[in-house]
């Protein structure tokens, strides 16, 4: 895999001086500045309640900032309708419909867009294959493990070929081994399609393993406390986690994160 240098890439998401105060007076974000490059994999860590999910909802156009601006894909409109269609969201819970098979859950976003023709059907089969569930296409969510359900959730998010994938602690409920495996699979999917990814996690090692840059947020009201570049080359595999440089960088990010709790 060889990627153009970051400077050659367009910015995909820009948050400028973004503040957000909820109705009952809670200030979730204060003067947050963040740029995410086109095709970049960015991870975000920060104390619980610091505004990470709020920031993701702003990017997805589900919330509007109290002040400041959110730009998507060079579009100066706040996550306009056209661009919002191009964003997929993966949550901590797989949020699958229990009465639909794997195949029909994955197909849902295409149905909502009226795009289930032959090409849609091929794409559904392709993403199910990509997440390793070919033999489970006819299964129902209750018949799958937590890790498999999350794979379905990922397939459903990718079926529309989004240019921006937003992930809010997607693997937090999974055991360590499953989480690590899904990390590797997610990176393989990203290497293949090169969507822009914003990945929120509590797990520093996961953040470093996955991303090209880790953003550390401050305690609420959230702002960017530090941005740590992750220099390891792609493709990355499980061995990276055992390397001294990996441990050093993870330690650096953890120290910064501990400061953010003050
Ligand atoms: N809809 C809402 N109304 C009022 N306060 C909210 C709402 N959503 C989140 N908050 C508050 O905003 C802060 C940030 O929340 P959130 O973005 O969920 O944090 P994180 O994802 O980092 O844990 C928290 O104090 C939370 O209680
Ligand atoms: Mg959250």
Task: Give the span between the Cα atoms of 49 and 220, in whole angstroms.
Answer: 7
Q: What is the pLDDT of residue 43?
A: 98
- Integer CA distances (angstroms), 260 to 36, 203, 220, 225, in order: 21, 15, 10, 7
Q: What is the pLDDT of residue 3?
A: 47
Burial of 162-190, coded b for 16+ CB within 10 Å and e otherwise, reads bbbbbbbbbbeebeeebbbbbbbbbbbbb
Angle, alpha carbons 171-72-53 (nearest 5°):
35
Mutate to test the pocket of ligand 1, among 53, 59, 203 (most ligand atoms within 8 A of CB): 53
Which residue owns the Cα nearest ligand 1 atom 1? 22
Q: How far is CA 143 from the centre of its chain?
A: 26
Q: Among the atoms of ligand 1, which is closest to the Cα of residue 200? A: 21
Task: Give the span between the Cα atoms of 103 and 116, in whole angstroms.
Answer: 12
Pocket of ligand 1 (CB under 6 A): 22, 24, 26, 28, 46, 48-54, 220
Task: Give the span between the Cα atoms of 191 and 176, in whole angstroms.
Answer: 23
Q: Which residues pair with 228 in a beta bridge?
A: 214
Q: How far is the CA of 27 from the centre of ligand 1 (A)?
A: 9
Query: φ and ψ at 14, to 5 degrees?
Result: -130, 125
Which residue owns the Cα nearest ligand 1 atom 7? 22
On whether the CB atoms of residues 216 and 252 are closer than 8 A, the answer is no
Q: Among the atoms of ligand 1, which is closest to the Cα of residue 29? A: 14
Domains and CATH numbers, the chain: 23-86+162-262 (3.40.50.300), 96-161 (no CATH)
Confidence (pTM): 0.93
On whether the CB atoms of residues 12 and 79 are closer than 8 A, the answer is no
Q: What is the pLDDT of residue 10?
A: 67
Angle, alpha carbons 133-136-140 (nearest 5°):
120
Q: Which residues of the chain have pLDDT under 70?
A: 1-11, 74-85
Q: How far is the CA of 220 from the centre of ligand 1 (A)?
A: 9
Q: What is the pLDDT of residue 38?
A: 92
Torsion, Cα of 118, 121, 122, 127 (10° steps) = 160
Q: How far is the CA of 57 from the centre of ligand 1 (A)?
A: 11
Q: What is the pLDDT of residue 74?
A: 59
């Amino acid at each position: 895999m060889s990627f153009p240098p970051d400077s050659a890439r367009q910015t995909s998401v820009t948050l400028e001086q973004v503040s957000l105060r909820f109705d009952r007076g809670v200030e979730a974000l204060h003067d947050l500045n963040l740029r995410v490059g086109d095709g970049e994999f960015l991870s975000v860590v920060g104390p619980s309640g610091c505004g990470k999910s709020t920031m993701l909802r702003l990017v997805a156009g589900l919330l509007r900032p109290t002040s400041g601006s959110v730009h998507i894909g060079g579009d100066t409109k706040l996550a306009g309708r056209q661009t919002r269609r191009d964003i997929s969201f993966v949550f901590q819970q797989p949020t699958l419909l229990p009465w639909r098979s794997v195949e029909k859950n994955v197909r849902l976003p295409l149905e909502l867009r009226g795009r289930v023709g032959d090409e849609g059907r091929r794409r559904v089969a392709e993403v199910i294959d990509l997440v390793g569930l070919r033999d489970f296409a006819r299964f129902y969510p209750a018949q799958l493990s937590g890790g498999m359900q999350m794979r379905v959730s990922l397939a459903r998010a990718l079926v529309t070929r989004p240019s921006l994938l937003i992930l809010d602690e997607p693997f937090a409920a999974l055991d360590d081994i499953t989480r690590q495996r899904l990390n590797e699979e997610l990176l393989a999917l990203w290497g293949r399609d090169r969507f822009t990814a914003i990945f929120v996690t509590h797990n520093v090692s996961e953040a470093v393993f996955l991303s090209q840059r880790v953003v550390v947020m401050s305690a609420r009201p959230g702002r960017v406390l530090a941005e740590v570049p992750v220099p390891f080359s792609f493709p990355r595999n499980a061995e990276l986690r055992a390397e001294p440089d990996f441990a050093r960088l993870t330690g650096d990010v953890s120290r910064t994160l501990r400061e953010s709790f003050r």
